[in-house]
Structure 1
């Protein structure tokens, strides 16, 4: 059997989504090793996985390039990426890896795997894709229409209007290439092609999407190497425990979270306040709000016992009891809500969240709202509208059953084993 390495962008959502796949590989007799920064090592080890750590700090020798404004930034970033690339290569060598699964956002760090001829698959934690007129950008909130020339023109407009993130990331990749980061050269020297898409450049290799096929729009044409892994929720994941004292099982529970980086969303504090005020007025309901560093500020308000405001909560444990989830359409939260059959009220902010919200609305798994909402009455109206949609509640339950009975994860492991062979 083989030793497989997993390297993801250091975010809890994307990292957590890989644990089911890692366990499935281990059940097949493979060894799995993670490549994570020091700050994430304890979390990965707590799940029972082996990991190698890398340091995110770097000292750069002073030179003319470190003294020229503009050039300094590019020079430091290029040296940082080269530092991580060297650490990645050392990890591959030390752990004796026979194949790697890499988040396409950090493809440039892992370019050395191509030079070594290692089996390499992209492990995509969202529904991002290379540029094509067959489907809209994942950054767009546009819903798909019928096929044909009009649809392709519409998709071109979505890519044009939502090109800020892929263009900036693409320019960044090219700029640090100019400053000496050799990722493009390494990939092309190994005979690989690089494509441009939703998050800048990525190698043109087989791809495993961490999400159910049934949540995507029609599977993108022109991507025969695109496979889906299902929800990839690991119910036994260790995120700590929650104090349920005071919780009433006979009353419905709503859960609200805008993800790990909620504090960086300008409208998040006023949005949380509106949600809290809405459920203060809603009789018979309980509410749990997870809001990171904003928790201390929001706790200054006098809250009834039915409303809990926490810096963080074990999300799987809370979702297993929730009847409603107000969130930002972050892919990790979406997968977990679908696994537990929780209807979604979506308030997308940026990046791929508008596209994920569009998919959920398209498949009647939730309704959208505006993250800039400050009025509790608007939140109340959206909650009432969602709870009054019998078709959405039925679709959510059907998706839950589909996710629980899906064989996509095992099929994904088959794809990996074929690549390793």
Structure 2
């Protein structure tokens, strides 16, 4: 594949720096969702719990639907062109979400749904060619450390953002306070667009020689690819929604103030810093197998600890704080292993499309999880009040218990991860 520009060490270093800066600015949009800030904003607008989960599920669901056609477009038309188009959409979508608080419920909710959809469309267009764009820029021998550095950088910015939100928000903050913060996030999306333009597209787009279905068939038949995607879908289905359930329990059941809910989510981000460091170090030295095994078992333990928070002779904040920290550490270490595994599985052709298949299954799992949870709450299928070993529980705890049980049962799916299989091949097999 012919290159547009030669990548000497200086050019490569400059490109990698632009990648980091672009993400530090742009991922504040994602941080607004991840820090439970958006959850609190929707609650301040009077949206119910099932509605909150449904609105927040729009982002992964729309991304799952669009990322495959976006990736096909990126491989054929150019990753930068598609990415720039997506970033314009993210700016417009987030601006609509921020403006929703200035209107009455009907129009406001329409702007939230429409803005979230446009933002999700933009995110899908941007991310469709992201890994493929980075593939020729980041040398294989430093990928673990680079992705750790990348994530530590934008995560540190996100922690600072969430800390500011924690100071700004009171127990029940007015809508205007949320809108001021969201206006800042919109400006950050513009900053991401500026730095993204400086990242070179090393590999020229190549006209597709065959249809999308034929290309997908080749990708799915890659050794270990389909099984890895299945594992990610199942794990995401029962873990991604946990963070929102944590926030709803803290806001609705434990009656934490808005600022405290954000601070608890911020502990998740702080824990992720350690997770990125450990994940990058372990992947570069021991491979991804150890990370996948450790993270999977840790998810089940963490969700169980959250459920049994009432057994500890401490105020809940001192119990849930360390749980948030551990959750962030585990999920971030896993993301390093996933990125490294995906880059190793990418084919020489249709890289964006292959990466998009992975993203579709991940985001599809998150979207389905959110929508099923919203449906279960809205339909009244779960008891609002029940007990577990004498501890009072809520409908949100019911969903969390289901997630914990399923994560433990999914231990059998670890064999779907190619690195786990390859690392185990040296072991003697019994007859």
Category of TM-score, reference length = shorter chain:
under 0.3
- Higher normalized contact order (CA 8 Å, seq sep 6+, divided by chain length): 2
The structure with the greater share of residues assigned to strand is 1
**Length-normalised TM-score, structure 2:** 0.24
The structure with the greater share of residues assigned to helix is 2
**Length-normalised TM-score, structure 1:** 0.25
